[in-house]
Structure 1
Amino acid sequence: MEKKFQSYFIILLLCILGLSATIYKVVSLDFPLFPGGQAVSWTVESKITFDADGEEAKVTYAKPISTSHLRVISTHAVSSGYGYEEKDGQGIWTKRQAEGEQSLYFQAIVHQQEDEDATINSFFASKPKGSVRTARLDSSQKAAASEIIDFAKQRSTDERSLVTQMVKIFRTETLPDSVAYLRKSISSDKDTVDLAKEILILAGIHVKEIRGIFLSKGREKEKIRSILGVFVDGKWAPFDVISGEFGVPSNFLPFGNTSDGVLVVEGGDNSKVEVTSISDSRSAQSLTTYHAQVDKDILVDFSIYSLPAEQQKTFKLLLLMPIGALVVVFFRNIVGLKTSGTFMPILIALTFLQTTLTVGLALFVIVVGIGLLLRSYLTHLNLLLVPRISAVLIVVTLIFAMISILGFKLGMENSLAVTFFPMIIVSWTIERMSVLWDESGAKEVFVQTFGSLFVASIAYFMMSSVLIKHLTFLFPELLLVVLAVILLLGQYTGYRLSELYRFKPMVHR
């Protein structure tokens, strides 16, 4: 009773651990529970050029920052001959002596997200100090802007609605002459933002300019543009003048603040920055694991995701073996199906994953059939066990080579997949079947062979499932739950399903 209690306690503990880790990944780390789903990501490349004057050079560049719609998951700087450091959201290059044309590069990987908690806090760290500065408008512009402000005040109830109405009136084509007069000086979106900013300042509203780029699909050279941060109703709020709406636009990637714009160069002239964005579609799974690694979450940092890509590929296959083991345990212990060896079906199923089921079954039957015929001939030579198995191994290797070459010459490329069969295991299977044939007859060999192939086929369908592949790789802790189920099945001591059929005639007596 005590041992059974311990078993059930371990089973319960394994389930709790496996499911808890999985729930944590889904809820806290945003791991996708189901496969599929694509997320757009961008590689944002910035090329900084300037003419150095032969003295000490210092370049300060505002790094891109995350919003509720976009997340910066990694940054990388290339600066030959320069020292580089990151401080207060800025990338800083320094060089003791620089002369002539200089080129520096900065790259950021950005992907889409929906996170209402993410904000551009670096712009809104503190409340504005002092009074609003004087608007940079001439007397005629001030008069026209004042008319817009008075008109907007009649249509608003608070500062937030006042901002919306002022910009709406300013951008409307059919309003008074004051609007038409102000709009004469506008030739670009930048002019629109600059003039709207001065009108807001004239209305007594604190304003910050937030520079960034509007990401687009494909490969594009992006212009650095601006939205505004306005201090209304006691807090800062981002506001897009072009759309006339509060909030950060979904495709707007802001850059952090420097003392004067996005780029500041000391010790050089003619500085400029060219920004190029390259969009790409990646699986939500890869992006999730990537930024979880960036965040150094312990469940990801100390996991198979931290391994090189080649090793991860290997583990994707190995993590499916417990699923095959669960299938074997069910059919052996619950159904009562006989197989050739305890875990031979798992190895066969792994092979089927590489060859496909139909091709795998055909190749297995051909190789084992030929092997049994040759093994029966070797019996007449009265060889000892080890030399006999070694001889079978060599023969199996030659069979593999012959099938591959013949299939290739006939244009049957699927025949090359025969090399995925584990040669030593196939050789030992042939030996076991041959001995079983001698001891129990051909019927028992066919029963066990059929059982092995049937269980391997079921395991193949389970292990090739897109959902199961996704869950085992992204949530390997679920294998603890699989282990718990296997331990639970190990507690079963009742009749197997095949035995119920076997003893059915006794029930009617």
Structure 2
Amino acid sequence: MRSVKLHARLLAAFLLLLGVGSIAYQILVQKVPLTESESDPVWVVDAQVSFQARENTPIKARMYVPPLESGFTALNESFISNNYGVNVNRENGNRVVTWSARRAEGRQNLYYRLMLTSRFAEPASVPEDGPQFRAAPPLEGPERLAADALLAPIRQHSADVETFVSETIKRVNNMESDNVRLLLAGDRSPENRARVVDLLLAVAHIPAEPVHTLELNESRDQQPELWLRTYNGKSWLYFNPLDGRQGLPDDRLVWWSGDKPLLALEGARNADVDFGVHRNEMSALQLAQSLRFQDQSSFIDYSLYELPVPSQQLFRILMMIPVGVLLVLLIRSLVGMETLGTFTPVLIALAFRETEVIWGVLLFTFITAIGLSVRGYLEHLKLQLLARLSIVLTFVVILMALISLVGYKLGLSTGLSVALFPMVILTMVIERISIVWEERGGTQSLKVAIGTLIAAVLCHLLMVWQPLVYFVFTFPGVLLVLAAVMVLMGHYRGYRLAELMRFRAMTDEGGR
């Protein structure tokens, strides 16, 4: 007996670990939302290119656009223009869009829009490795002396590439230094300060690359911000050349890298690029479905959401049946409430989906009472059990048809739903209650019928609770956890709540 119990406990533990592991994998690895209402920010980035076209001159506008492997999930990318050809290609690790037209007149506007989110995103793609040495630029005269004067304390106060770059940025942003002012030559713009930082790093043979990023923050007027990155032999390090901050923030979108300008224009003049960033909210489930429609990877590829919609609706019902069965099992084993078996209350709960709870209970009670009344009358005729049951079930069908007809005449949709009320379930309940009446009497059959009805109502309320329906349908591993609980309940031999209440009077008398 001990070996059997041990086997059952090991099986329950295995099912529990398998179910919990499956749920944890979906949540932690596949990023599946825990609730149906869970939403994520969706950023809409707009770039408007404006310029004045020259008459009778071909136009070509080339602009850098973000890489799709930027640490975000691209939901949609649009290039909007009128009578322009559009071509996207790669250059030196960047993506470039080219708008071209044979002729254009007046002010021209080209638009680029990108919708992205951090949900389901892969890490941003960067070059696997980078240079660790570069030749120093030729410097002479005062510039050379100023650079050497700045680099001497930088070398003394740094221990590696990371601290060297941070110290360099700190020194360049010290406007009280005569050496810094000389190298800046009166231009204190962020771009020029980044140029001086890059110059000093080049003199020290440390390679650096400018990276232009856009902050994902609600704004209608924003421009890319310049950062620097360098390779330390193991990974790429990002630095803000203005304040020395290290590490690219999560809300930064890398637009392009390199020292070339954002826009290159041929056949036009007075070019301008305006950026706008807007934030929307979208359900995480809708995001996954959108990715699925775009043939991109999402958790839907490995779940029941991949099934056709009618099949999904069916499985949303079927997957909740074990939940109802477990509830009936707990009610019978722990509470001690008697029902017509374990599966019958669950079937009645499924039938309540057609009639709703209140009307379902009323119809169930009314039809069952009529059926049992007919059965009581037929008992006086001394008919055999099989004949009595057959007559009762026939009258139940007639009664259901009459209720549907009266409901239709009165304009009540609930009356029509009786026709959808599973006839097999109701007739089976009548039969089971009649058998209990034959074997154990009318009082016991009434008690069992009430217990069955209460269990069915509780099962229905649990099985249609939308957050639980979503969780079970989305995380099928829950069924393995339920199976583990059922295995453990199979060896429960303790007292039920009803027995404790019944025997409490005996303990009270013994205490006296």
TM score, norm. by length of structure 2? 0.68
- Tell which deviates more after alignment, 238-247 or 367-376: 367-376
Asked if residue 392 in structure 1 is aligned to residue 399 in structure 2, the reply is yes
Distance 1:156 1:436, change over 3 A: closer
Quote how far apart the aligned CAs of 1:178 are: 4.4
Asked if residue 214 in structure 1 is aligned to residue 210 in structure 2, the reply is no
| Structure 2 stretches lacking a partner, 5+ long | 379-387
SS of 2:339's equivalent in the other structure is coil
1:290-332 superposed Cα distances (whole Å, 9 cap, x missing partner): 87997747x7413223357887677555533321122123434
Distance 1:86 1:501, change over 3 A: farther
Distance 1:33 1:428, change over 3 A: closer
Partner of 1:71: 72
**Matches of 2:30 and 2:22, distance apart in 1:** 11
1:324-347 superposed Cα distances (whole Å, 9 cap, x missing partner): 122123434666533357535335
In the TM superposition, what are the counterparts of 1:63-212 in structure 2 within 5 Å? 63-64=66-67, 70-78=71-79, 91=95, 98-100=102-104, 101=108, 103=110, 105-111=112-118, 118=123, 120-122=125-127, 125-127=129-131, 130-133=134-137, 147-172=149-174, 175-179=176-180, 182=184, 184-187=186-189, 189-212=190-213
**Matches of 2:48 and 2:308, distance apart in 1:** 30
1:459-487 superposed Cα distances (whole Å, 9 cap, x missing partner): 35655778755642332123133235445
- State, as a whole percentage, how many aligned pairs show the same letter: 19
Partner of 2:325: 325
**Matches of 1:170 and 1:343, distance apart in 2:** 77
CA contact (8 A) 2:221 2:275 kept: yes
Quote how far apart the aligned CAs of 1:114 are: 11
Structure with the greater alpha carbon radius of gyration: 2
CA contact (8 A) 1:170 1:196 kept: yes
CA contact (8 A) 2:12 2:484 kept: yes
Distance 1:480 1:235, change over 3 A: closer
Partner of 2:480: 480
Asked if residue 368 in structure 1 is aligned to residue 375 in structure 2, the reply is no
SS of 1:246's equivalent in the other structure is coil
**Matches of 1:265 and 1:418, distance apart in 2:** 73
SS of 1:277's equivalent in the other structure is strand
| Structure 1 stretches lacking a partner, 5+ long | 406-415
1:125-160 superposed Cα distances (whole Å, 9 cap, x missing partner): 43156514457xx97666655554445445444443
**Matches of 2:158 and 2:415, distance apart in 1:** 77
AA of the residue aligned to 1:167: I
Quote how far apart the aligned CAs of 1:206 are: 1.9
Which of the residues 420, 426, 430 maps onto 1:429?
426
- Tell which deviates more after alignment, 205-214 or 124-133: 124-133
AA of the residue aligned to 1:211: H
CA contact (8 A) 1:14 1:480 kept: yes
CA contact (8 A) 1:158 1:233 kept: no
**Matches of 1:169 and 1:469, distance apart in 2:** 60
Partner of 1:62: 65
TM score, norm. by length of structure 1? 0.69
Asked if residue 42 in structure 1 is aligned to residue 43 in structure 2, the reply is yes
Asked if residue 226 in structure 1 is aligned to residue 226 in structure 2, the reply is yes
CA contact (8 A) 2:42 2:117 kept: yes
